[in-house]
């Protein structure tokens, strides 16, 4: 082993979680380094530069609340911030708090090993550097490990292949080119309308149709921004008291669920009225669609009616209409003109259910019905979510046990924060925490606060390590499973990345905590107040 550098804490990743951790670790008087494989900071907002990349949480709420000065001085321009603005914001955070000197870019962490005798983690990087620390914070992101489907003949393709999650900094000029997009999740749906603006011809390859709703994004009303800033701390408090971590106070057009309207007992007239008045919102306003599959199917009918009304070509409309799985099983997608894009004469859809891809060739993509000639192929095929980035690092805890082995039957953790057998290892927004089911910034800030408080408490009590008790972890895993049971998330027909089924060979297990971030925070607070109940401190 060459040079080994020592800090109190090593952080892996310099996205929102890594940056938030560095600022607050320094404020707590702890030394730290963040190791980041990208050559810039921002994580998600550094990597996903595809045209149309945008957040679907309002900017005033998808931002840090840990510094009153920061939230007062930053001015947002749109209701839903785009990638460029978010990347600028996160670079501002790095500069404003002078944390770049604690970040080592272009550095991939390959392993992390716990030395029981010394109670230290040794972290090795691809560059051959070693770091030692008492605490290891995995801020590696839940959606940072791209899925790389193996399309036959991909390497033979004569044109350019680009992933939405690895979009080049300099951009790609698709003017007049023949562009193909594979994947119709959030990323595909966001980039298609933008690519269609310039492309000579655009072909979308869709395996599964998607439930997506218009964002109604627009410039942020300066008055809303001014008023929010007057009582920002109240808003931050309110976020933590809501299941999704987002209020309805910051400029987004929200279609409210009716107080007591069940679709199962509604009349045809009421449903038609909802369609006329609310359009796409008509599929989202009923109270009984979350847990009742028949009710959900009735809402899906309203949704499909809207597709028919929006897409001119009936065959394309039919193919773009999601079927056989409920609204709410996957993460809702928010778009800007997705369906309308298919009314342009140079945009076409290949429905892979009826016309599957055979493989790539020099000229383009061959499906069963023929060759689609292409210059550029965009892969919007998603991520190995929530566990992918963690399991790509060889993490070894007590007795040399690897995280891969510890999670061979699926990811098990206590509160999504720590794993039994891996002392002083923290997984920010890890599996078993609300993470992707709520405004992620709220989850990130809560986890970072908890971790730093925990390290400070250990130090003040003269303790060296903290890790979950096996029984507490087992109970939490059971609770996470039970909370998701009976919801659309775990419906038999659901094939979402929340369940890991988009990754070949990954166990079908619901990964996040579906009990609401408000309830989760209350539980974590109670556990902490009870002296870290369920944890062993040594
Ligand atoms: P990331 O931003 O993913 O950062 C993790 C960092 O760790 C990355 O930079 C990565 O390079 C680095 N890393 C990983 N492994 C290693 C390693 N072995 N060595 C070194 N570095 C490593 N959430 C919302 O709440 N609302 C949204 O609207 C929303 N939109 C999204 C849009 C897109 C396109 C994507 C992909 C995600 C979106 N998310 C959204 C989720 C988003 O990931 C989180 O909101 C948040 O940005 C996560 O921050 P993070 O720091 O935890 O992880
Ligand atoms: P995704 O939701 O997993 O979508 C991937 C798409 O690729 C799906 O349509 C999938 O089809 C398709 N696909 C995968 N492998 C394929 C193959 N071999 N052949 C054909 N099609 C294939 O990924 P994503 O769109 O990147 O979004 C992931 C998550 O990131 C989102 O759910 C969200 O949390 C976040 N995100 C948010 C925003 C935002 O609006 N703020 C934007 C982008 C991303 P199947 O459905 O059939 O598997």
- How many Å lie between the centroid of ligand 1 and the Cα of residue 147? 14
- 24 vs 22: CA distance, rounded Å: 6
Full-model pTM: 0.97
Task: Give the contacts of 135 (CB within 8 A, at least 6 positions apart).
Answer: 8, 9, 10, 121, 424, 426, 451, 455
Q: Report whether pLDDT(255) > 90.
A: no
Q: Is any ligand 1 atom within 6 A of the Cβ of residue 141?
A: yes
The ligand 2 site (C-beta within 6 Å) comprises 54-56, 143, 149, 182-188, 190, 207-208, 331, 334, 352, 380-383, 436, 497, 502
| pLDDT value of residue 257 | 63
| pLDDT value of residue 2 | 67
- 502 vs 496: CA distance, rounded Å: 7
Q: Is any ligand 1 atom within 6 A of the Cβ of residue 55?
A: yes
Q: Report whether pLDDT(513) > 70.
A: yes
> Strand, helix or coil at 323?
coil
Mean pLDDT, range 510-531, rounded to an integer:
98
304-359 confidence digits (pLDDT tens): 999 999 999 999 999 999 999 999 999 999 999 999 999 999 999 999 999 999 99
| pLDDT value of residue 259 | 59
* Proportion of the chain in helix, strand, coil states, percent, rounded to 5: 35, 20, 45
- Nearest C-alpha neighbor of 76 from the set 67, 65, 89, 93: 89
Beta strands 178-182; 160-163: pairing state: unpaired
User: Hey, what are 41's tokens?
Assistant: 């900071």
Residue with the two structure tokens 């859809």: 349
- 502 vs 487: CA distance, rounded Å: 19
Least confident interval from 33-42, 98-107, 162-171, 250-259: 250-259
Instruction: For residue 174, report the phi and psi dihedrals to the nearest 5 degrees.
Output: -100, 15
| pLDDT value of residue 258 | 65
Q: Report whether pLDDT(530) > 90.
A: yes
Mean pLDDT, range 395-422, rounded to an integer:
97
- Nearest C-alpha neighbor of 453 from the set 66, 69, 98: 66
- How many Å lie between the centroid of ligand 2 and the Cα of residue 217? 21
The CATH-assigned architecture of domain 4-145+384-537 is: 3-Layer(bba) Sandwich (3.50)
- Closest-CA residue, ligand 1 atom 34, reads 48
Q: Ligand 2 atom closest to Cα of 186?
A: 25
| pLDDT value of residue 260 | 72
In 10 A of CB 343, how many CB atoms?
A: 13
Residue with the two structure tokens 């001014």: 226
Distances (CA, A) of 6 to 9, 31, 256, 467, 538: 8, 9, 52, 22, 22
Rg of the Cα atoms in the chain: 24
- Nearest C-alpha neighbor of 48 from the set 193, 197, 187: 187
Mean pLDDT, range 1-28, rounded to an integer:
95
Q: Is any ligand 1 atom within 6 A of the Cβ of residue 429?
A: yes
Beta strands 4-12; 130-138: pairing state: parallel
256-282 confidence digits (pLDDT tens): 666 578 999 999 999 999 999 999 999
| pLDDT value of residue 534 | 98
Mean pLDDT, range 146-167, rounded to an integer:
97
- Domain assignments of the chain as residue spans, ordered by start: 4-145+384-537, 154-222+249-379
- How many Å lie between the centroid of ligand 1 and the Cα of residue 322? 28
- How many Å lie between the centroid of ligand 2 and the Cα of residue 223? 35
* Range 66-70 contact pairs with CB under 8 angstroms and sequence separation of 24 or more: 66/20, 66/23, 66/24, 66/445, 66/449, 67/23, 67/97, 68/232, 68/233, 70/96
- How many Å lie between the centroid of ligand 2 and the Cα of residue 189? 9
Distances (CA, A) of 406 to 135, 194, 410, 420, 471: 19, 43, 8, 9, 15
- How many Å lie between the centroid of ligand 2 and the Cα of residue 502? 9
Residue with the two structure tokens 């992390």: 112
The ligand minimizing its distance to the Cα of 58 is 1
- 432 vs 281: CA distance, rounded Å: 30
Ligand 1 pocket: which of 129, 139, 440 to mutate (most atoms <8 Å of CB)? 440
- 110 vs 214: CA distance, rounded Å: 40
Find out whether 340 and 194 touch, Cβ atoms under 8 Å: no
| pLDDT value of residue 407 | 97
Least confident interval from 16-20, 61-65, 175-179, 490-494: 490-494
- How many Å lie between the centroid of ligand 2 and the Cα of residue 186? 6
**Cβ density class 417-448: b for 16+ within 10 Å, e for less:** bbbbbbbbbbbbbbbbbbbbbbbbbbbbbbbb
Ligand 2 pocket: which of 44, 154, 207, 378 to mutate (most atoms <8 Å of CB)? 207
Q: What are the strands, taking DSSP E only, across 151-282?
A: 160-163, 178-182, 201-206, 212-214
Q: Is any ligand 1 atom within 6 A of the Cβ of residue 263?
A: no
Q: Is any ligand 1 atom within 6 A of the Cβ of residue 17?
A: yes
- How many Å lie between the centroid of ligand 2 and the Cα of residue 500? 12
49-89 confidence digits (pLDDT tens): 999 999 999 999 999 999 999 999 999 999 999 999 999 99
Q: Is any ligand 1 atom within 6 A of the Cβ of residue 13?
A: yes
Q: Is any ligand 1 atom within 6 A of the Cβ of residue 44?
A: yes
Mean pLDDT of the chain: 96
């Amino acid at each position: 082993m060459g040079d080994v550098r020592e800090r109190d804490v090593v952080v892996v990743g310099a996205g929102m979680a890594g940056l938030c951790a560095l600022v607050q670790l320094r404020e707590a008087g702890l030394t730290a380094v963040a190791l980041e494989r990208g050559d810039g900071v921002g994580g998600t907002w550094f990597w996903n530069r595809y045209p149309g990349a945008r957040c679907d949480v309002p900017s005033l709420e998808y931002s840090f609340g840990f510094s009153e000065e920061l939230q007062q001085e930053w001015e947002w321009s749109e209701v839903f911030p785009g990638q460029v603005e978010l990347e600028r914001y996160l670079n501002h955070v790095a500069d404003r708090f002078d944390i770049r000197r604690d970040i080592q870019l272009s550095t991939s962490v390959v392993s992390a090993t716990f030395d029981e005798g010394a109670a230290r983690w040794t972290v090795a990087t691809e560059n051959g550097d070693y770091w030692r620390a008492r605490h290891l914070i995995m801020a590696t992101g839940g959606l940072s490990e791209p899925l790389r489907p193996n399309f036959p003949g991909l390497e033979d393709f004569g044109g350019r292949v680009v992933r939405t999650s690895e979009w080049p900094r300099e951009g790609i000029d698709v003017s007049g080119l023949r562009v193909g997009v594979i994947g119709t999740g959030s990323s595909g749906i966001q980039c298609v309308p933008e690519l269609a603006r310039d492309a000579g011809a655009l072909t979308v390859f869709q395996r599964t149709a998607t439930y997506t709703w218009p964002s109604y994004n627009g410039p942020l009303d300066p008055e809303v921004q001014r008023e929010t800033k007057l009582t920002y701390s109240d808003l931050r408090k309110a976020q933590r008291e809501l299941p999704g971590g987002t209020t309805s106070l910051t400029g987004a057009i929200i279609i409210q669920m009716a107080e007591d309207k069940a679709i199962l007992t509604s009349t045809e007239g009421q449903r038609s009225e909802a369609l006329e008045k609310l359009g796409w919102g008509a599929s989202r306003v009923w109270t009984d669609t979350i847990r009742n599959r028949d009710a959900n199917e009735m809402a899906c009918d309203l949704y499909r009616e809207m597709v028919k009304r929006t897409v001119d070509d009936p065959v394309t409309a039919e193919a773009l209409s999601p079927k056989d799985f409920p609204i709410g099983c996957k993460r809702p997608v928010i778009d800007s003109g997705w369906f309308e894009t298919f009314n342009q004469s140079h945009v076409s859809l290949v429905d892979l259910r009826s016309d599957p891809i055979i493989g790539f060739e020099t000229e383009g993509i061959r499906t069963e019905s023929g060759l689609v000639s292409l210059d550029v192929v965009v892969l919007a095929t998603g991520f190995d979510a929530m566990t992918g980035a963690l399991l790509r690092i060889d993490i070894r805890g007590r007795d040399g046990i690897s995280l891969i082995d510890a999670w061979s039957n699926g990811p098990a953790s206590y509160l999504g924060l720590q794993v039994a057998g891996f002392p002083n290892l923290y997984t920010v927004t890890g599996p078993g925490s609300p993470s992707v089911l709520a405004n992620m910034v709220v989850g990130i800030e809560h986890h970072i606060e908890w971790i730093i408080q925990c390290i400070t408490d250990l130090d003040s009590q003269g303790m060296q390590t903290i890790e979950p008790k096996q029984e507490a972890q087992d109970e939490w895993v059971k609770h996470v499973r039970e909370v998701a049971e009976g919801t659309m998330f775990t419906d038999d027909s659901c094939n979402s990345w929340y369940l890991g089924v988009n990754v070949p060979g990954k166990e079908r297990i619901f990964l996040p905590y579906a009990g609401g971030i408000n309830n989760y925070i209350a539980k974590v607070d109670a556990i902490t107040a009870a002296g870290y109940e369920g944890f062993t401190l040594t």
